[in-house]
Amino acid sequence: MQELLEKIEKRRTFAIISHPDAGKTTLTEKLLLYGGAIHLAGSVKARKSNKHAVSDWMEIEKQRGISVTSSVLQFDYAGHRVNILDTPGHQDFSEDTYRTLMAADSAVMLIDAAKGVEPQTKKLFWVCHRRKLPIFTFVNKLDRYGRNPFDLMAELEQVLGIHAYPINWPIGIDGNYKGVYDRIKKQIELFEDDNSHGSKILKSTTGSLDDPQIIEALGQELYDNLCNDIELLDLAGDEFDMTRVNNGELTPLFFGSAMTNFGVRSFLEKFLELSPQPQPRILQNGEILDPSTEEFSAFVFKIQANMNPAHRDRIAFMRICSGVFEKGMSVYHKQGGKVVKLSQPQQFLAQERTIVEKAYPGDIIGVFDPGIFGIGDSLSDEKMKVQFEDFPVFPPEIFARVQPKDSLKRKQFVKGITQLAQEGAIQVFEQKDIGIESFIVGVVGVLQLEVLEYRLINEYSAQLLMNQLAYTVARWVYAEDKKLIDNIKGLDSGMLVYDQKDRPVILVNNEWSLNWILERNPGIQFLTVPSDV
Ligand code: G4P
């Protein structure tokens, strides 16, 4: 028990959320650099000449320069075990990000100093906020022109409704930043530019606010400005209050530059000190499961097929919620109603995988999936048989009819579509009794359709015919009397399909059509999320 408590206390599991291009890949890489997991961060130039960031592993990501899948990266730093849940930056893959956030205990919100709060930041912020995740904010790209830090704080408050407590404060203006002032340690850190362009750990000197050498290095004007800023923050700013941070009402704010490594170390250290250890999880029946419960439990938040093209395997990623995972363990799989052996348990550093002997709450492991797991599935010690709360399902907004191009490849095509749906890469619907073999695929972003086509060809050798449909709205249909659904009226501009669990779903062009159909079908309800009742 004591060992379990100690392991829990050391763990930090978080996701980085941001708008594309704010620097998430760069920051992730730098955290790995400081964590000793990599020794030389591939600078952006190196990445452009075909070396890719360690967190990218799918071919398509390399080609498009976007991060499609979420990878899980782990390293140790100053006695902590750090699990970073990397998420796709592109908004077309936001569903994957939402699901990954279910496995996090906190989030780091990355903001571009020149751009402030951007649309995708806002969306992801709300997903975290609804779950009351503590959010830490890192204002990035301090090495070049950025907005006034006071303005950025005001924007967080106005746009996101969250107050910020700056833990450090930038010294300098308009891209000519010299360092940061640490408000907790009351210490100035001045960065030394070593011309390594951020590929190595940055050197810096530290000193107190009244250190004459530091004042001289800064120059009187910068020094005076800094003193004024600090005074203003102390007088007019929020008090630091950990309870408010843990409730997601106050965000500890950091300034830095992931590219040049400004402020990366101090961010990492303070973040590890302040961010929560693995938190209790909510069960389907409303009970709370504490991580220190001795029996093992975990839930699947991501499934990925064919991560390694040489093996054609399928991996289910799970977050451990309580107890200890041990290699070779058999556990109860609630959704399958069976005891299963978790085989080939692995931890990940992008392409590098290592076999896990033991893992603890907060850790993410990937296990070999023979095709039995689904997103949100619960696994636990046989004594407990727990079921965790449901994962949010997001209604797709883009639909396409897909068919195999070559009917001889039908088998591969169906296998590919089914596996990619289980993986959560697409949602699949079927029309009943139409006599042709075709599926309706639903996605949130159009790039997901491109990925579907690419992966079907590359991983399943199946070409497809795809016809995008005009529908933009999907609603699950509910009626006490099921016959009402079979005889639904006014469907001229819509389509009735069935999801993978055979639940009826209606697809229409717009909200107006929904109302039109509702008016003609008393007894029928439309739901934005599936309901099994
Ligand atoms: P993402 O994962 O959030 O999409 O962002 P990524 O790390 O790929 O960074 C996007 C761009 O921003 C990259 O430039 C990267 O070098 C740059 N960047 C990241 N952190 C910093 C920083 O602290 N300062 C500055 N100045 N730039 C930073 P890129 O690949 O050259 O793309 P682009 O600039 O040509 O669009």
Per residue in 420-444, pLDDT tens? 888 788 999 999 877 666 799 999 8
Q: Could you identify the atom of ligand 1 that is nearest to the CA of residue 140?
A: 23
Domain with 419, as residue range(s), is: 396-525
**CA 303 / ligand 1 centre spacing (Å):** 28
Per residue in 74-121, pLDDT tens? 888 999 999 998 776 566 667 778 888 999 999 999 999 999 999 889
- In the block, which residue shows the tokens 């908004």? 91
**232 with 118, same domain?**
yes
**CA 50 / ligand 1 centre spacing (Å):** 16
* Nearest alpha carbon, ligand 1 atom 6: 23
**CA 23 / ligand 1 centre spacing (Å):** 5
Choose one of 273, 301, 331: the last residue of a domain: 273
**CA 104 / ligand 1 centre spacing (Å):** 24
Q: Tokens standing for 439?
A: 């599926």
**Residue 455 within any structural domain of the chain:** yes
Q: What gap in Å lies between CA 103 and CA 316, rounded to an integer?
A: 13
**CA 20 / ligand 1 centre spacing (Å):** 9
Ligand 1 contact via 362 beta carbon (within 6 Å): no
Choose one of 378, 404, 431: the last residue of a domain: 378
Mutate to test the pocket of ligand 1, among 191, 259, 262, 264 (most ligand atoms within 8 A of CB): 259
Mutate to test the pocket of ligand 1, among 19, 44, 47, 191 (most ligand atoms within 8 A of CB): 44
- In the block, which residue shows the tokens 């009917």? 407
What is the per-residue burial (b if ≥16 Cβ within 10 Å, else e) of 445-471? bebbbbbbbbbbeebbebebebeeeeb
Edge-to-edge, what's the strand order for the sheet holding 524-527? 495-498, 504-508, 473-479, 524-527
Q: Could you identify the atom of ligand 1 that is nearest to the CA of residue 66?
A: 4
Q: Tokens standing for 404?
A: 């195999």
**CA 113 / ligand 1 centre spacing (Å):** 12
Ligand 1 contact via 141 beta carbon (within 6 Å): yes
What CA–CA distances, in Å, run from 30 to 17, 42, 66, 497? 16, 10, 18, 46
Ligand 1 contact via 20 beta carbon (within 6 Å): yes
pLDDT of residue 417: 92
pLDDT of residue 27: 92
Rounded (to 5) percent helix, strand, coil in the chain: 30, 30, 40
**198 with 51, same domain?**
yes
**162 with 287, same domain?**
no
**Residue 215 within any structural domain of the chain:** yes
**Residue 359 within any structural domain of the chain:** yes
**Positions of the chain with pLDDT lower than 70, given as ranges:** 37-71, 88-93, 173-175, 193-202, 305-312, 348-353, 435-437, 531-533
Q: Radius of gyration over alpha carbons of the chain, in Å?
A: 25
Mutate to test the pocket of ligand 1, among 18, 21, 110, 112 (most ligand atoms within 8 A of CB): 21
pLDDT of residue 51: 39
Q: Could you identify the atom of ligand 1 that is nearest to the CA of residue 29?
A: 7
**Residue 531 within any structural domain of the chain:** no
**125 with 244, same domain?**
yes
**266 with 360, same domain?**
no
**CA 159 / ligand 1 centre spacing (Å):** 24
Q: Which of 184, 189, 161 is nearest to 256 (CA)?
A: 189
**Residue 3 within any structural domain of the chain:** no
Ligand 1 contact via 87 beta carbon (within 6 Å): no
Edge-to-edge, what's the strand order for the sheet holding 464-468? 427-429, 439-443, 398-404, 464-468
**Residue 74 within any structural domain of the chain:** no
Ligand 1 contact via 380 beta carbon (within 6 Å): no
Decide: helix, strand or coil at residue 450: helix
Ligand 1 contact via 140 beta carbon (within 6 Å): yes
Is 234 flagged in the annotation as binding?
no
Global pTM value: 0.83
pLDDT of residue 71: 61
Number of domains the chain contains: 3
The enclosing domain of 321 has a CATH number of 2.40.30.10
**303 with 318, same domain?**
yes
Ligand 1 contact via 23 beta carbon (within 6 Å): yes
Q: Could you identify the atom of ligand 1 that is nearest to the CA of residue 43?
A: 16
The enclosing domain of 442 has a CATH number of 3.30.70.3280
**160 with 306, same domain?**
no
**221 with 203, same domain?**
yes
**CA 25 / ligand 1 centre spacing (Å):** 8
Q: Report the DSSP pairing between strands 473-479 and 524-527.
A: antiparallel
Q: Could you identify the atom of ligand 1 that is nearest to the CA of residue 26?
A: 7
Contact yes or no for 175/140 (Cβ under 8 A): no
pLDDT of residue 194: 63
**262 with 313, same domain?**
no
Choose one of 222, 251, 273: the last residue of a domain: 273
**180 with 259, same domain?**
yes
**CA 143 / ligand 1 centre spacing (Å):** 12
The enclosing domain of 183 has a CATH number of 3.40.50.300
* Nearest alpha carbon, ligand 1 atom 10: 21
pLDDT of residue 195: 64
**434 with 470, same domain?**
yes
**Residue 89 within any structural domain of the chain:** no
**Residue 38 within any structural domain of the chain:** yes
**469 with 422, same domain?**
yes
Contact yes or no for 511/460 (Cβ under 8 A): no
pLDDT of residue 56: 45
